[in-house]
């Protein structure tokens, strides 16, 4: 009986080793299933967040604005950061201009959409 049990264990080991390698699981590293993008993840990624800030610089070569923005509760603290914009926004942006916009996380970084200049008081 012991010999049969040992034989079964020894024949199962290569299959288990192959499964572990295919999974690429390791201590401290999430399993492959944890990295799968779900519909909820995609929706969260593309959800917009209201932003208020000031254009510090225009970086046409990077299709981006350097914006000093207020805190976005639940998303990020107030900071100055590079934010990508479309070509029309890039053309109309001005240094020192106060803006409101929608901050959106996309696969290639943070983007500003619906950028609107704020009228001076």
Q: What is the CATH number of the domain that holds 79?
A: 2.40.50.320
Q: Flag whether 41 is in a domain.
A: no
Number of domains in the chain: 2
Largest CA distance in the chain: 89
Which tokens in the block code for residue 32?
Answer: 């492959």
d(CA 56, CA 108): 22
Q: Is 89 exposed, middle or buried (0-12, 13-18, 19+ CB in 10 A)?
A: buried
Query: Could you tell me the mean pLDDT of each successive run of 10 residues in the chain, 121 residues long?
Result: 56 51 46 50 68 98 98 96 97 97 96 94 70
3-state class of 74 per DSSP? coil
Asked if 54 and 29 sit in the same domain, the reply is no
Asked if 28 and 68 sit in the same domain, the reply is no
Please write down the long-range contacts of 94-97, taking CB distance under 8 Å and 24 or more positions apart. 94/55, 94/58, 95/55, 95/56, 95/57, 95/58, 96/54, 96/55, 97/54, 97/55
Asked if 11 and 54 sit in the same domain, the reply is no
User: Which residue is associated with the tokens 């981006």?
Assistant: 64
Q: Flag whether 42 is in a domain.
A: no
Helices (H), the chain: 2-23, 39-46, 87-92
Asked if 29 and 78 sit in the same domain, the reply is no
Q: What is the pTM of this model?
A: 0.63
| pLDDT value for 111 | 98
| pLDDT value for 19 | 47
| pLDDT value for 34 | 47
| pLDDT value for 62 | 97
Query: Which domain range does residue 15 map to?
Result: 2-35
Q: Flag whether 56 is in a domain.
A: yes
Asked if 51 and 30 sit in the same domain, the reply is no
| pLDDT value for 47 | 78
């Amino acid at each position: 009986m012991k010999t049969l049990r040992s034989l079964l264990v020894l024949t199962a080991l290569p299959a288990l080793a192959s499964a572990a390698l295919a999974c690429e699981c390791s201590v401290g590293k999430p399993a492959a299933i944890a990295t799968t993008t779900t519909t909820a993840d995609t929706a969260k990624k593309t959800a917009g967040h209201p932003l208020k800030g000031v254009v510090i610089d225009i970086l046409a070569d990077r299709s981006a604005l350097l914006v000093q923005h207020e805190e976005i509760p639940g998303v990020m603290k107030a900071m100055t950061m590079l934010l990508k914009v479309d070509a029309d926004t890039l053309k109309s942006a001005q240094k020192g201009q106060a803006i409101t916009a929608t901050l959106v996380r996309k696969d290639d970084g943070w983007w500003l959409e619906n950028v609107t200049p704020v009228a001076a008081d």
